[in-house]
Amino acid sequence: MQQRLAIARATLHRPEILLLDEPFSGLDLEAAELLTQWMKTFVTSGKTVVMATHDLEQGLSGVNRWVFLERGKIEEELTGDYAIVRERYKQFLRERKGELS
């Protein structure tokens, strides 16, 4: 309920840009689906959502531009198909894992 309230408060004044940090955290399936649909409508109306998330599946739904960050720096920017971005993200993680070995 706290997460739902936080999202409601963030959207109450109808901002042009919405900054969300792990917005799906603590939401049940129904609330997560409602949030996804709401974000799609928000973006369709010409507004912007900037979201930080570790939940790849939720994070990629309804998004049209992705930015991979590492240590606060943009490592890669992508646009396009969900499947392509998902595979590139997996590759990105494998590359980073290899650098740590």
Question: pLDDT digit string (tens) for 79-90?
Answer: 777 788 888 888
Distances in whole angstroms, Cα of residue 23 to Cα of each of 6, 7, 12, 50, 74: 9, 8, 16, 11, 21
For residue 18 the two structure tokens come to: 């919405």
Question: pLDDT digit string (tens) for 15-25?
Answer: 898 888 888 88
pTM (two decimals): 0.65
3-state secondary structure of 77: strand
User: Is 22 a catalytic site residue?
Assistant: yes
pLDDT tops 70 at residue 60: no
Domain edges within the chain: 1-60, 64-101
% residues pLDDT > 90 (the chain):
0
Can you name the CATH fold of 1-60? Answer: Rossmann fold (3.40.50)
Q: Choosing from 16, 22, 33, 99, which is the catalytic residue?
A: 22
pLDDT tops 70 at residue 62: no
Residue pair 91/83 in contact by the 8 Å Cβ criterion: no
